[in-house]
Amino acid sequence: MKHIGYFFSFLIVYLFYFPFKILPYKWCLAYGIFLTKLIYPLDKKHQKVAADNIRFAFPNYSEEQIGNLVKAHYRHLGILLAHTLWAPRMTKKWLDENLIIDAESLQIEEETKKQGVGVILISGHFGTWEILVQFLGIRMKGGGIYKKVRNPFVDRLLRNMRSKNGVVLVPVQESTQVIKLLKQGYWIGFGADQNAGKAGIFVPFMNRQASTFVGPALMAYLTGAKMLYYSVLAGDDGKVIVRVKDLGFVDKKLYPSKDDVIRHYTELWTKTLEEEVKLFPEQYFWVHRRWRTQPEVTGNNQ
């Protein structure tokens, strides 16, 4: 009976996904924005989550500014939805025509490719991250961390979508495979800015302590891989903007202990993400409870 329920759930998901398989790209964007416009008046719960998060992140904002940013964020969610479901159709030709990357970012990318090293490609729930998955497959020898979905039919659909352009997907539990791929020169994407609960360490992010996964810094420490931070943003007229920051290699002599070194680089990439969010605030994923886990001494369990 459970599998029958999973199958019917999958059919609903697939019917929702199907228009993005056949409509032209610009139509998909318009359709995604239209859907979130329909959802916006009904979704009071996530509007409140977003507004509360923004109040902490931008304490000088007026209530009018907060409300406007929430509305702009929901419009971005429509673009994110469209990009997520359209992304498997991406081709190198499309990317060449629609990619905007500044000269400094392009130089960092090209120099890193010439070094032939494994790369910890760090991003966050910011911009249009599912485009980044396909970008990795087309432009690099790419891989990504994959968390299995409970519904096996939906899980298979998502894995097929994400691996469409050759990205190697690694289950989140298989850290040894990640180490192996990095040592083979793969670029492995980490979207590591989710609430890590008790498994993470607390680092400052947007005016609050945030429980943060140490995976990217730990993998760089263990493998000698280079760390690059990527912002992949939704631009005007359907363009995709890529911004790259070179975070370098782990210097194990920087601090006396392994934990201190890992903390330093976790704070470094988190600070880099924060700086990018401040430049493009409507594109951060404000509706997720990034700061839900707080240090016990604060008594704050958002």
Evaluate whether 220 touches 190 at the Cβ level (below 8 Å): no
- For the chain of 302 residues, list the mean pLDDT of each consecutive stretch of 10: 78 87 95 95 96 97 98 97 93 94 96 96 93 90 85 85 85 86 94 91 97 96 97 96 97 94 98 98 97 76 46
CA 184, 158, 105, 225 torsion-angle sign? negative
pTM: 0.91
- Give CA separation, 80 vs 31, 35, 84, 200, 281, in Å: 11, 11, 6, 27, 14
pLDDT for position 297: 67
Strands 119-123 and 168-171: unpaired
Q: Where are the beta strands (DSSP E) in the chain?
A: 99-101, 119-123, 142-146, 168-171, 187-191, 201-205, 208-212, 226-234, 240-248
Q: Residue 273: its pLDDT value, please?
A: 98
**Domain boundary assignment for the chain:** 1-283
pLDDT in the model for residue 286: 98
CATH number of 1-283: 3.40.1130
